[in-house]
Amino acid sequence: MTEVDRHRRVTDIFLEVCDLPPEARAAALARVRRDDPGIAAEVEALLHHDASPEVDIAAGTVPRGA
């Protein structure tokens, strides 16, 4: 998988799970983790970052200097 493909996959998964309720999100990430733990870790990092009150990755809002 190229870096572009990997980035696209991480982005697609993030967008699919970011608005799911916690239980559904956990189940979706568990499925991803079975196939590719690295991608799951990247998505989880994005979700953690997106949970910051100053950040909305899906909307493209990131604080200056981040």
What is d(CA 17, CA 64) in angstroms, rounded to the nearest whole number?
A: 25
Whole-model pTM over 0.85 = no
pLDDT at 16: 95
pLDDT in tens, 5-26: 999 999 999 999 999 999 999 9
On the question of pLDDT at 64 being above 90, the answer is no
Please check whether residue 20 is in contact with residue 26, taking contact to mean a CB–CB distance below 8 angstroms.
no
CA distances to 3, 25, 48 from 22, in Å: 29, 5, 13
When mean pLDDT is compared across 11-20, 29-38, 48-57, the lowest value belongs to 48-57
